[in-house]
Structure 1
Amino acid sequence: MLKPVCLIGFFEGRIFSGHEMPRNKPHPGVYLAAAAHSSIDAARCLLIQDTTVGITVGVAAWATVWACAAPPAAHAPLLQVGAARVFTGTEELRLG
């Protein structure tokens, strides 16, 4: 998915997939492997997810999870499973 939007260059050598893990979602192994590869504690990671399963897995990895959901009616279920924040567009992703 990164090639069509011309972002692959930013992530080469740092792409992890659940298909490469002994256990896929809902096990948090892929997030834990990515954090370990970067020598970062998973609890210091920020994950962006758009599904309740993805959020649940991120929370299980002890990461902070922000959710992306366009209709405001979809925000409540994402917050209920542990999303720390819900945003509707990338313009809301300012970290500073």
Structure 2
Amino acid sequence: MEFDELELDPQEFGGFFFPCVDWLVSEGVIRVKDIHRYMGSNHSGVVDRPVLTSYGFQLLEQKISVGADAERLANRVKEVSSNGVGYANVGDLIGGILGGFTKSIGS
């Protein structure tokens, strides 16, 4: 998975990509085979084989605050999916979670 797959503005959100990935790994939400960061950019690189852990699946049922509203994380991911982003595999799902998380931090 690469930052470009999230279809986010690199100027606005690029700096959050690897810190978000690192945080999700350290919290046990996802597991990755490896992370390759390219020199000269704060968002270029590859996250190799990201997968949700069982804890990550549990978190999908938790309520999160997005602005003034609280909703289940799974509903938020589903909403993003219905707006044109298809989740064909778990890597795409994680990308959607990362994208939503990155947008919420940047706001």
Task: State the TM bucket, normalised to the shorter chain.
Answer: under 0.3
- TM-score normalised according to structure 1 size: 0.23
Between structures 1 and 2, the one with greater strand share: 2
Q: Answer 1 or 2: higher relative contact order, Cα 8 Å, separation at least 6.
A: 2
Between structures 1 and 2, the one with greater helix share: 2
